[in-house]
A = this chain, B = another copy of it.
Amino acid sequence: MTDPTPYTPPEVWTWEKPNGGAFASTNRPVAGATHEKALPVGKHPFQLYSQGTPNGVKVTIMFEELLEAGYDAEYDAWLIRINDGDQFGSGFVDINPNSKIPALLDRSGDKPVRVFESAAILMHLSEKFGNAFQVKDPADRPEMLSWLFWQMGSAPYLGGGFGHFYAYAPQKWQYPIDRYAMEVKRQLDVLDRHLADRDWIAGDTYTIADMAIWPWYGGTVMGWQYKAGTFLDVKSYKNVVEWAERIYERPAVKRGRMVNRIGGDPAMQLHERHAASDFDTNTEDKRRAG
């Protein structure tokens, strides 16, 4: 593909109008709040403001894993509807000036602290609970850190790159789809080779590195992301598929995937989570209603 329309960028870029595609109405070239809106606050020390996207799911899985393991990590999870622009409310911007989910308000210490960026929240919660879900051997820590940051630097090519141009852009263009499909397949191959002779990403145990990578790359090989399973031939990454299925079997992962989720099967959606019993009640209610 070449675009026969010649285009010369202006000397200075200006924002003229939404340029089409999903999320066009919420994307802006400026930061800050668009409207005054306080955030709700529940009774638990941890207040999570999120939506059940891959980045959001990392954190709800972490909370559910901590609870499953017996830590006192009770949390209130509030739904931030991205398509409605909730992330531009003044209260949310105070917690995350970058206006992205997930964002955490931690009131468990002497004074409340904010944490944003999904992997920062994973690290923060892990440290809060005695380095829970980190590698046991300190010699494995560099490997865990490497893969944790690898996920943060790589997923924008899967989400903001491939996902955008394959699923959300106003029309299909070959060049960017080729560019990002190639990169996503390379990333999947990196993981596939790495997982050829080990069960977990770092060390010999399930860690926050697995939790960070699973929602994006596990979700892709499970065929959930962008309905691109066939296009990307995800089944060929056999080691990633086995690892993804192993993680999917964890009860905490199944619960974590339901929290703040909107769209799809109503029985899979727990819009807000304030107690462990919310999973049963909510699901039962939904089944009865459905």
Contact = CB atoms under 8 A, between A and B. Distances in A.
Contacts of A183: 27, 29
A133 interface: no
A251 interface: no
Contacts of A187: 31, 98
A262 interface: no
7 contacts: A7-B177, A27-B183, A30-B189, A97-B190, A110-B139, A117-B150, A123-B149
A145 B124 contact: yes
Interface stretch (A42-50, A79-87, A165-173): A165-173
B139 A189 contact: no
A173 B173 contact: yes
A232 interface: yes
Contacts of A28: 182, 186
A36 B106 CA distance: 49
A: interface residue count bin = 35 or more
Interface in A242-281: none
A182 B15 contact: yes
A288 interface: no
A185 B30 CA distance: 7
Contacts of A31: 186-187, 189-190, 192-193
Contact of A13 (B13, B169, B233): B233
Nearest to A191: B31
